[in-house]
Amino acid sequence: MKQKIIVGIFVLLLTLQLVDAVGIRPAKTNLIFEEGKDYSKTIWVVNNEQRDLTVSIYVEGEMKEYVSVSQKTVTLRSDDDSKEIGVEVHLPENVPAGTSTANIVFEETLDEAGSENVVSSKVVLKHKVLIEGPYPDKYVKAKLNFQEQGNLISFVSEVENLGKEEVESVKTTFYVNDKKQELQTLETEETSLGKKENKLLSTKIAKDVFEQGEFEVSAVTTYDDQKVEVVKKLLVGKPRVEMTYFDKYFIANKINQYSMDLLNKWNQQIKNVYVDVEVSKDNQKIDQFRTKSVDLDAETMKRISDYFDARDKDEGKYVFKMIVNFWNNIQMDQEEFQVELLTEDQFEEVSKGNINAAVVGKASSEGSSFSGGLIAIIIVGLLALISMIFVGYRYFTREEI
């Protein structure tokens, strides 16, 4: 484990050095679309550490088909300060309104020959090409947000007029399925929107309409006979997995099969669920292990069965401290389960349900003995009282001689 950490730190440091070794200037290019106009730009690959290196170049992103580079690779010698790369942008007649992007990627090429036992890394840098498309006369940009307010949830549509003209009428309608999978439709107020103006349109719904989980909300904003749709997930509560069962008894000094039940209380599937287990006795940690991972379907329970190694553990009471983990980044609160390790004979009796019966029988027997003793004491007392009465009677009624 320590070796992995050391290697990870080394690779990180190496990567940081590579970032310093190669530079791209400028970091981005901003283009404002003009119909019929082509664009030519120059990018510089900088050899910061003055060493030999080769860099491959390619384009990615939504506008990649309209951007080209003058060469696919560039080689720098140790005495080269930098080299220039030509960039050509030929845009179509119709460019999407707003910002569109393409990334020119510069990736160092490594010589892998003879590097089987050598830790290496490479730098990948991106030059952003941002293309601003023209907005039409009428154009509204919308964003969707949610706010919890006690027992209510506010659906908020943020609308901004980016067009060239004022919008006379704008409103947002929200569509969402509730916990019963019934469609809920909510509308905001209707208003106007001046040029460059921004407004918040909102409406509310009761929180108990939903259960714990994720709900897809569609917000359709209509403005002067046009519309724009935004879809976003509403999260109500937090994903939760509960452990509802764990075995109470095991056989000491033996490998035991255990079972635990995990309940997904979220309305979506939760992947990679596992449990970290810490075993302690008399407040001293004596063991720890991790269960295998499972995927839990929405609002369902699944049983995990595996093996607990108790070969070095004697009879007695133990505490199993458990933390459920999922999605590799969420931990539930720690839960504790009281577990007892028994002899094989005791475990067999527990399996038959006889130990609890024996305990009850013992308690009943003790109760019967106590009751019998009390009755005997009462009888003796009554006999003594009768004797005393009889003696007293004879004393006061004796005949005088």
d(CA 201, CA 198): 10
> Is the confidence at residue 148, as pLDDT, over 70?
yes
Report the pLDDT value the prediction gives residue 364, as an integer from 0 to 100: 36
pLDDT in tens, 186-201: 999 999 999 999 999 9
Structure tokens at 328: 């590799």
pLDDT in tens, 150-165: 999 999 999 999 999 9
> Is the confidence at residue 118, as pLDDT, over 50?
no
135 in Cβ contact with 171 (< 8 Å): no
The residue length of the chain stands at 401
Which range has the worst mean pLDDT, 120-124, 165-169, 288-292, 318-322? Answer: 120-124
Choose among 355, 278, 353, 279: nearest CA to 323: 278
pLDDT band at 383 (very low <50, low <70, confident <90, very high): low
Report the pLDDT value the prediction gives residue 397, as an integer from 0 to 100: 53
Q: How many CA atoms lie within 13 A of 190 on its CB side?
A: 6
Beta bridge partners of 115: none
Report the pLDDT value the prediction gives residue 357, as an integer from 0 to 100: 34
Report the pLDDT value the prediction gives residue 185, as an integer from 0 to 100: 98
Report the pLDDT value the prediction gives residue 298, as an integer from 0 to 100: 94
pLDDT in tens, 20-60: 567 899 999 999 999 889 999 999 999 988 888 899 999 99
Q: What percent of the chain has pLDDT over 70?
A: 80
